[in-house]
Each structure stands twice: as C-alpha cells, then as structure tokens.
Amino acid sequence: MASVEVLCGYDSYRQQDVVAIECPFCHAYVTPKYLFLHNDSFMFAECTNTKCNRHFVLGYHDGFDYVLPNSEPAKKKFSDVIRGISPSFEPIYNQAFYAEQVGLNQICGVGYRKALEFLIKDYLISGSADDEYKEKIKNKFLGNCIKEDVTNKPIQFVAERAAWLGNDETHYTRVWQDKDVTHLKKLINLTIRWIENEVETKQLLEEMPERK
C-alpha cells in the first residue's frame, strides 16, 4: 500500500492505500498515475504499463478504485490537408480538448489559442519557399500574421475573430463577455474549413487546368 498526492489545477488531493487497478485497455494490473481530480468523484488516470500508457477514468467507492466504462477521452481527428499543413496542430488541439473534458475550463482555452497560432503560422509557412519570410512568421504576433499575411479574406476574417476570443482566454479581463470556449472552437473549425477549401480547390485546378 502507498499514498499518492495528485495536483489538480491549484488544489491537491491525497489518497491513502492505493491499490492495483486493471487497465481497461492492456488489462495489466497497475498502480495508475493519477492526473486530474474532477468534482471529487472522478479521477483521470494513466496506465503505468510502459507498453500502454493510455488514459482512463476512475470512479470513487472506497478510494478511486473502479474503472468507468468507455472512459478514454475523445479525440478530434483532422483531415490530411490540415495534418499536412500543420503536424503540431492536432496534438495541441487534443491536449486542450482533453483539458476541457476533465473540467479544466480555465486553461483549455489557452490550449485552443495555441493550436490556432500553430495552424495559422504553419499555413503561412507552408505556402512560401522564402526561408527569411518563414523565420519572420515564426517570430511575429499572431494578430499581425493574420492581418498582414493572410490574403484569403474568409480565412482572415474568421481567424482574426478566433484570435480575439483566444486572447480573452489568456488575459485577466475579457473583451467579449458573451463569448466563450465554445465560440472559439467554432471559429477554429471555420478557419479549418476555409483552409481546406483553399487547398483542395488549388489541387483540383492543378489537376484540371483546362477543359479537354
């Protein structure tokens, strides 16, 4: 038996008499790594089998000692277009999505804002062969990248508003009091769709430049 202290946001939780749990994925009996406590009733945990390391949710009975069914967090899968433009976007987005699912509503918006920045900067970098320009984009403020370098107006309009809401998630005071993470995610999804439309249209025109 052992005791484990888990940091959950700004709070700490101390559990006595930790027992082995059967991982619902690899079925090994492990002492899970506790990640986040949610509502004092659910603990988000990680399998400590190095061949697995998948995540699941534990429910409280006599300590956090039973696995909830279908407890692995959902993940968003993005198109090959988006993955090709920005390999970092999907994992960053899913880390923010993960935080949202376990109730970390004060920090998930920051993650979505970071995902947006990677998407926009990678989008701009992918469209240029100029190394000097690429370095300039990497070090430029996101808002300036959108305003000065994104030439596709629909992408510019929706990405700009996503950046506004993303900034609200990182600052002490909010400008857009009637908007939240849900609206930020919608704007990111709109940005994604416009980028996909642009890339797919360009590919189609390259494949069919003229009528036969």
User: Tokens 């701009």 appear where?
Assistant: 124
Residue 123: count of CB within 10 angstroms of its CB: 25
User: Which pLDDT belongs to residue 61?
Assistant: 64
Contact 2, 30 (CB under 8 A): no
User: Which pLDDT belongs to residue 3?
Assistant: 39
Q: CA 176 from chain center: how many Å?
A: 22
For 175, the token pair is: 């400008």
Cα–Cα distance measured from residue 121 to residue 134, given in angstroms and rounded to the nearest whole number? 9
The model's pTM is 0.72
User: Which pLDDT belongs to residue 6?
Assistant: 40
Cα–Cα distance measured from residue 168 to residue 176, given in angstroms and rounded to the nearest whole number? 7
Cα–Cα distance measured from residue 11 to residue 158, given in angstroms and rounded to the nearest whole number? 36
Q: Where are the beta strands (DSSP E) in the chain?
A: 4-8, 11-15, 21-22, 29-30, 33-38, 42-46, 55-60, 64-67
Cα–Cα distance measured from residue 104 to residue 9, given in angstroms and rounded to the nearest whole number? 7
User: Which pLDDT belongs to residue 70?
Assistant: 61
Domain segments of the chain as ranges: 4-67, 80-207
User: Which pLDDT belongs to residue 19?
Assistant: 64
Nearest-CA neighbor of 169 among 110, 87, 103?
110
User: Which pLDDT belongs to residue 12?
Assistant: 42
The whole-number mean pLDDT for each consecutive block of 10 residues of the chain, a chain of 212 residues, reads: 38 50 88 77 84 84 66 83 97 91 86 98 96 97 98 98 97 95 97 97 93 86
